[in-house]
């Protein structure tokens, strides 16, 4: 099952047609880069995928329980903030989950406890 399916995507601004019956599938483990000249619809595609803009036609279907996020090109970030601290602020829940998993792995590696003593 695809993580993302875009089917029949059509979108334009006035006379400028950005997409006409476009189709994209993104499967688990795949990565997509969105590149092109200014005005070709890169930001529009991201906004359509994040439901900030509704396409003129077509469907955008994310697999259930997928969390989608992006960094807006006009985001205002404090100048003294490092990239690491910015990512930690944006993905705090994932960093916490990683810490909990590491703690569980460490506990499992130490082995079972019997009457307060290790076997």
| Cα–Cα distance measured from residue 91 to residue 93, given in angstroms and rounded to the nearest whole number | 6
CA-closest candidate to residue 90, choices 81, 79, 101: 81
| Domain extent for 83 | 77-111
pLDDT tens for 32-89 read 888 999 888 999 999 999 999 999 999 999 999 888 877 777 888 888 888 888 878 8
- In this structure, the answer to whether residues 36 and 56 fall within a common structural domain is yes
- In this structure, the answer to whether residues 83 and 54 fall within a common structural domain is no
Averaged pLDDT, 87-103: 88
| pLDDT at residue 11, as a whole number | 96
Give how many domains the chain has, as a whole number: 2
- In this structure, the answer to whether residues 83 and 107 fall within a common structural domain is yes
| pLDDT at residue 119, as a whole number | 55
Provide the CATH number for the domain around residue 3.
3.40.50.300
Sign of the dihedral through C-alpha 83, 87, 88, 90:
positive
- In this structure, the answer to whether residues 22 and 52 fall within a common structural domain is yes
Q: Alpha helices, DSSP H only, in the chain?
A: 42-49, 83-90, 92-110
**pTM of the predicted structure, to 2 decimals:** 0.66
Beta pairing partners, 62: 4
Q: Nearest 5 degrees, angle CA 32-CA 33-CA 34? A: 120
Give percent of the chain with pLDDT exceeding 70.
Answer: 94
Averaged pLDDT, 87-110: 88
């Amino acid at each position: 099952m695809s993580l993302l399916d875009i089917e029949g995507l059509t979108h334009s601004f006035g006379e400028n047609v950005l997409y006409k019956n476009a189709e994209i599938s993104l499967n688990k483990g795949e990565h997509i880069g969105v590149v092109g000249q200014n005005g070709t619809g890169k930001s529009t595609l991201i906004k359509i995928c994040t439901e900030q803009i509704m396409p003129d036609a077509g469907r955008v279907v994310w697999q259930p329980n997928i969390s989608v996020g992006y960094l807006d090109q006009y985001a205002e970030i404090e100048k003294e903030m490092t990239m690491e601290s910015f990512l930690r602020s944006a993905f705090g829940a994932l960093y916490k989950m990683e810490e909990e998993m590491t703690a569980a792995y460490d506990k499992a590696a130490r082995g079972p406890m019997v009457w307060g003593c290790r076997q």
